[in-house]
Amino acid sequence: MNKRTKKWLIGGAIGLAALFAAAFAIAVIIPHDSRVRLESYGKSESVLLDDKEYEQMIADKRSFLIMVNQPGCIRTDDMSTWFLEYPEEMQFKYYSMSWAHAKDTSLHNYVKYAPSLAVIKGGEVIAWLDADSEEDEKYFGDPEELKTWLKKYIIF
């Protein structure tokens, strides 16, 4: 192998190493925002889904917030009211589905009780509130605690 070929090989190896180092820096060192951006229309709005519509949104790899509820559930009513009372910059579109529909979907792998909220990003559940969890209890009883939880997973 002549000197010229060696120089090309060494230069190529150095270039490739630099490319891998840059890719590593982007993927690991620079933090990524894993939160979800929801559709917003200036006022919080709930859109009712059934199990088939939910599964289609998952198949389409959509990102959204969904509330699983039971008819007449006071906690669900409270949360819906809180969403409307949040500041204008925190108004968002969210989806709601009855427990009767949710239990027949892939969401049931995460949400076992109603009421609950789940954050979906790219068709994957990234966070949810468990109505049967002592740890999550505070989010169901206090609009400011719920706001804090939402801000961890949603870009406002």
What is the H or E stretch that residue 100 is in?
A: helix 99-102
Lowest mean pLDDT, pick from 16-20, 42-46, 82-86, 140-144: 16-20
Residue 17 has pLDDT above 80, yes or no: no
In order of 25, 34, 76, 106, 136, the CA distances from 46 in angstroms are 40, 23, 12, 21, 22
Residue 57 has pLDDT above 80, yes or no: yes
Burial class of residue 7 (count of CB atoms within 10 Å of its CB; 0-12, 13-18, 19+):
exposed
In the chain, DSSP finds a helix count (H) and a strand count (E) of 6, 7
pLDDT-derived band at 38 (thresholds 50, 70, 90) equals confident
Residue 15 has pLDDT above 80, yes or no: no
Average pLDDT, the chain: 85
Phi, psi dihedral angles at 90 (to 5 degrees): -110, 15
- Is the distance from CB of 97 to CB of 52 less than 8 angstroms? no
Single-letter residue type at 38: L
What is the pTM assigned to this prediction? 0.76
First to last CA, the chain: 60
User: Which two three-digit tokens encode residue 9?
Assistant: 């090989």
Residue 12 has pLDDT above 70, yes or no: no
Each residue's pLDDT tens digit, 108-149: 999 998 999 999 999 999 999 998 999 999 999 999 999 999
pLDDT-derived band at 33 (thresholds 50, 70, 90) equals confident
Determine how many CB atoms are found less than 10 A away from the CB of residue 126. 15
Q: What percent of the chain has pLDDT over 70?
A: 81
Determine how many CB atoms are found less than 10 A away from the CB of residue 28. 9
- The pLDDT of residue 84 is 87
pLDDT-derived band at 24 (thresholds 50, 70, 90) equals low
pLDDT-derived band at 5 (thresholds 50, 70, 90) equals confident
